[in-house]
Structure 1
Amino acid sequence: MILGILFAILAGSLVSLQNIFNSKTGEHAGSWTTTTLVLGLGFVASFTLGFLFEGKQLFELQNMKTWYWFSGLIGIGVVTCVVKGIKLLGPTYAISIMLSSQLGFALLFDTFGWLGIEKVPFTTQQLIGVLVIVAGILIFKISGEPKSTKMPTGLKSVHAEK
């Protein structure tokens, strides 16, 4: 279990790092160019490492459903939406929303057993957990609004008269 937690923490840090790189690439290139670079380099790296570590077993895909072959296409939507979301909302707010969405959909997939996942009973604690996270994001966004540096109108006239 501890190893799983460590992998999850590492994955979270790598996703955050990748999102920053994607966002910076998106500032200098279009979203399609960014997506092509990210997924293209990812393919080359994973293919090379997979071949080095697994050899010919990399190509043994018995009993895999046909539609799983197309799951990589989802990455196009992921990278494009991440780049655009960060550009429009900023990194922290966009990633917070994405993580909440990911958690909410994971809860739905678990609860209903969608896409062949084993069903996990829905609990009130799970709902409360998701709602607390969403509330935290809302509080973060509301409290993170920049304060106006302008002096109130009434004070301007008082200071101007002195």
Structure 2
Amino acid sequence: MAKFFSLPFLVATISGVAMAIQGTINSALSQKTSLISATLVVHIIGTLVALITVLAWRAPLLKHPWTSIPWFLYLGGVLSVIIVGLVAVSIPKIGVCNATTAIIIGQVSMAVLIDHFGWLGMNRMPWSPWQLVGIGFLAAGAKLLFR
């Protein structure tokens, strides 16, 4: 229960709030421009913010062993473009609540699999029957949220 009220849990919750706001904003931007143009502009702005942050914190960008890192760890950028695009497409069609609920179901289900199998270089954390029950309750709750 202590993990539920921990700082990492709070930070993750704030991240979820930011994701719902981001999806809504990106969707509105893509409606006023185009999906691909909005996705590009969002990522250009994100790149500039990340660059400014790296410079401000004096992060040792060039000291990392970039060439020895497994190739699949660089797929986050590709996934980011896919996520922004898919969220921007889904929100106008099914609404913020329904899209966010579907996103959460997908995230939690995949997270349990990644933890259980130790995929993508993560430490293996086998699932428990309670997690599977939790996913069932999450799915049932999602059904109640869908309009």
Taking structure 2 as the reference length, the TM-score comes to 0.89
How far apart in 2 are the matches of 1:119 and 1:67?
Answer: 18
AA of the residue aligned to 2:38: T
AA of the residue aligned to 1:118: N
1:40-59 → structure 2 map (5 Å cutoff): 40-55=44-59, 57-59=60-62
Equivalent position to 2:89, from 69, 84, 87: 84
Shift of 1:12: 1.1
How far apart in 1 are the matches of 2:62 and 2:72?
Answer: 17
* Residue equivalent to 1:71: 76
| CA deviation string 1:66-97 (max 9, x = no partner) | 33234311111100110111122111101100
How far apart in 2 are the matches of 1:135 and 1:94?
Answer: 16
* Residue equivalent to 2:29: 25
How far apart in 2 are the matches of 1:60 and 1:71?
Answer: 20
How far apart in 1 are the matches of 2:51 and 2:62?
Answer: 10
Counterpart check, 1:14 vs 2:18: yes
* Residue equivalent to 1:4: 8
Unaligned runs of 5+ in 1: 145-162
Structure with greater contact order relative to length (CA < 8 Å, sep ≥ 6): 2
Percent pairwise identity: 23
* Residue equivalent to 1:125: 130
| CA deviation string 1:41-88 (max 9, x = no partner) | 101101111121034x02322242233234311111100110111122
* Residue equivalent to 1:61: 64
Equivalent position to 2:102, from 61, 72, 97: 97
Could you tell me whether the CA contact under 8 Å between 1:51 and 1:58 is conserved in 2?
no
RMSD: 1.4
**Bigger radius of gyration:** 1
Shift of 1:35: 0.7
Counterpart check, 1:109 vs 2:109: no
Shift of 1:131: 1.1
Could you tell me whether the CA contact under 8 Å between 1:103 and 1:130 is conserved in 2?
yes
